[in-house]
Structure 1
């Protein structure tokens, strides 16, 4: 596995931890400040900034981790093209299973999520 793949998978772990631990700080660590989080929840279309997403995950108290919920994260695919990458991940959050498409950008040697598109599978 290339170093870039490892670094991106580490960012994916931070991304998942932000939700699992209800951590706004980890959301800001994983995402580029200008990123958008968009997709459909059962109540309709959602479109959030990183700050809005960070506030949302932080508001989920107690966190899924502290409630002892099982962690579910599966990296389905990861493709790197120069300073960009895309990953498909499946994760469990708030009783739902999501299929996320995460786009990444490498800036000054650091990989960050530039955009997240999500789809609720169940």
Structure 2
């Protein structure tokens, strides 16, 4: 396997761990400080910087603390060049299912997420 794939998989594993445990510190270690967070699933743009996004993660109860089963997996990884990649991943937190498109760049000797653009769906409620 290309070493770049293994390196990206390690970043994505840390990403999933950070989300599952609401660990903003772990996420800060894999997001570039200037990364963006964006979503338009509900018809308007949500656009945050890491300074706004990471405190939100830190404040929310973690899926781990609620005993939720982990539901995260890598759908694809593509390279646009030697230092640019796009990962498509899926995860769930509570009733929300996310498809994340993570733009990842290699800077300062390591891979970092520079953009998180995602779609979210709410699970159908049981009758």
Q: TM-score, normalised by structure 2?
A: 0.87
Higher CA-based Rg? 2
Within the alignment, does 1:19 sit opposite 2:19 as a pair? yes
Change (3 A) 1:119 1:84: same
Within the alignment, does 1:97 sit opposite 2:86 as a pair? no
- 1:1-122 equivalences in 2 (<5 Å): 1-40=1-40, 42=42, 44-61=44-61, 63-80=62-79, 81-122=81-122
**Displacement of 1:51 after TM fit?**
2.1
Q: Over aligned residues, Cα RMSD in angstroms?
A: 1.5
**Displacement of 1:117 after TM fit?**
0.3
**Displacement of 1:97 after TM fit?**
0.6
**Displacement of 1:94 after TM fit?**
3.4
Q: TM-score, normalised by structure 1?
A: 0.91
Which of structure 1's runs of 4+ aligned residues deviate more than 4 A?
41-44
How many residue pairs get matched? 121
Cα separation, 1, equivalents of 2:99 and 2:35? 18
Unaligned runs of 5+ in 2: 123-127
